[in-house]
């Protein structure tokens, strides 16, 4: 329930550049999605640049329960799926061959 008769709560997501994801910034009460888009611009983007706004009726958001932190439990070692799970060992081996570790940013993206 938003408040004014039949207004709805819309959750607002803003995308700052086309390379960024839409990020939740807050919510507004509005009478329709078109109104919500127009209102959201000034409620949340008076000082920030953006390329896109999404508004979603609040009752369409499905979410996890804060009181169930175990939903997110990561208790056992997951180094096997991290870069850092391999770098120490590989670096040690490559030193014998006078080679450096490869780095995604340095060697593939920027080079």
Partner 1 sequence: MSEERLAEFMARIERGEKIEATDWMPDDYRLAAIRFIQMHALSEVMGAFPEKEWVPKAPTLARKMSLMAKVQDEVGHGQLLLRVAEDLARPLGKGREELIQELLEGKSKFHNVFHMPAPTWADCGVIGWLVDGAAVISQAALLQSSYGPYARILQRVCAEEGFHIQHGESICLALAEGTPSQRKMLQDALNRWWEALLLFFGPPETDGQNAQVLLKYRFRTKTNEQLRQKYLTKYVPRIWSLGLTLPDPELRYDEKQGRWIYTAPDWSKLKAIARNEGPLSQYRLALRRNSYETTRWVREALTGKAVVA
Partner 2 sequence: MENLDRNALIALLYQMADDELIVGHRDSEWLGLAPHLEEDVAFSSIAQEEVGHAANLYKLLEDLGEGKVDQLAFDRPPERFYNAVLLERPNGEGTYLENPRFDWAYTVVRRLVYDLFDNVRLAVAAESAYKPLADLAARMRREERYHVLHHITWFKKLATGTEESRRRLQEAIAKVWPDLPGLFAMGSVTPGPHFNAGPTELLSRWEAELQPVFAEVKLPWQPVDLNQPIAEDGRSGVHTAELATLLTTMGEVRHAEPETVW
9 binds partner 1, rule: CB under 8 A:
yes
- The 5-44 site mask, x for binding partner 2 (CB under 8 A), equals --x--------------------xxxxx-xx--xx-xxx-
Among 31, 41, 56, 57, binds partner 1 (CB under 8 A): 31
Cβ neighbors of 87 (< 8 A, separation 6 or more) are 101
Termini Cα distance of the chain: 53
The yes or no reply on residue 46 touching partner 2 (CB under 8 A) is yes
Specify the residue, 32 or 87, whose C-beta has the smaller distance to partner 1.
32
Q: Per CB under 8 A, which of residues 45..104 are in contact with partner 1?
A: 46-47, 65-67
């Amino acid at each position: 329930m938003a408040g004014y008769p039949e207004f709805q709560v819309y959750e607002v997501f803003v995308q700052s550049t086309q390379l960024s994801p839409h990020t939740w910034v807050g919510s507004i009460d509005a009478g329709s999605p078109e109104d919500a888009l127009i209102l959201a611009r000034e409620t949340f983007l008076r000082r920030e640049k953006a390329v896109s706004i999404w508004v979603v009726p609040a009752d369409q958001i499905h979410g996890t329960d804060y009181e169930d932190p175990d939903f997110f439990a990561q208790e056992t070692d997951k180094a096997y799926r991290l870069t850092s799970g391999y770098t120490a060992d590989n670096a040690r081996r490559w030193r014998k061959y006078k080679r450096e570790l490869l780095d995604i940013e340095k060697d593939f993206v920027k080079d």
